[in-house]
A and B are shown apart, each in its own frame.
Chain A
């Protein structure tokens, strides 16, 4: 089945620890995105990538890093510099930057 796979579904971070969230898509989409959703709030863009080996900061990139070494994969690292990482993290992709975005099932990150 074609789709966007995020893993793990739940993740716990210890103080001072970096954690990496996985996002893989087999839709042959060029563009990929990472969003953060906090309770009662809309989605906020962390990073996005329109093409392999290129990515741009979104509205809340501080404390996060990404890579886009393969078209199918866009992992997000939540670094220890992100002081409030507890949130629902959503990965999305689209055929091109102007087409509708489709979302994975998300990863819930919590602090231990």
Chain B
């Protein structure tokens, strides 16, 4: 079992809809969770981070963390074509505070 798993997609949503991206992780002791956006050929850009159970909102983005079920999700409201990218989930596996473990990413396509 991979430590951080994401559906590779592509996830296709129409413009204006809500995009829901999911990530599961294997280590119950994980404490920090991050979402990065990566455009094709570019480096990852931090979108959201969350440390506690529940929701965290920033503009059109909401991160949701459920430690009991070991998943973290990213919701993008009012999706725009410019949101089309690969979204990487990253987790600090317990006991390795300095090390982020990345999922392979979900490709999001926002259609007109």
Interface residues, chain A, with chain B CB atoms under 8 Å away: 31, 33, 40-45, 48, 50, 56, 58, 90, 97-98, 100-106
Contacts and interface: CB of A to CB of B under 8 A. Distances in A.
A48 B98 contact: yes
Q: How large is the interface on B (under 10, 10 to 19, 20 to 34, 35 or more residues)?
A: 20 to 34
Interface string B75-112: 00000000000001010100001111011110000000
B17 interface: no
28 contacts: A33-B100, A40-B8, A40-B104, A41-B104, A42-B4, A43-B44, A43-B88, A43-B90, A43-B100, A45-B100, A48-B98, A48-B99, A50-B98, A58-B99, A90-B44, A97-B98, A98-B92, A100-B34, A100-B46, A102-B46, A103-B36, A103-B44, A103-B45, A104-B43, A105-B42, A105-B43, A106-B42, A106-B43
A40 B43 CA distance: 14
B71 interface: no
A45 B99 CA distance: 8
Contacts of B70: none
Contacts, number: 48
B105 to A, nearest CB: 6
Interface of B: 4, 8, 32, 34, 36, 42-46, 49, 88, 90, 92, 97-100, 102-105
A104 B88 CA distance: 16
Contacts of B8: 40
Given A50-B98, A58-B99, A42 B43 contact: no
Contacts of A48: 98-99
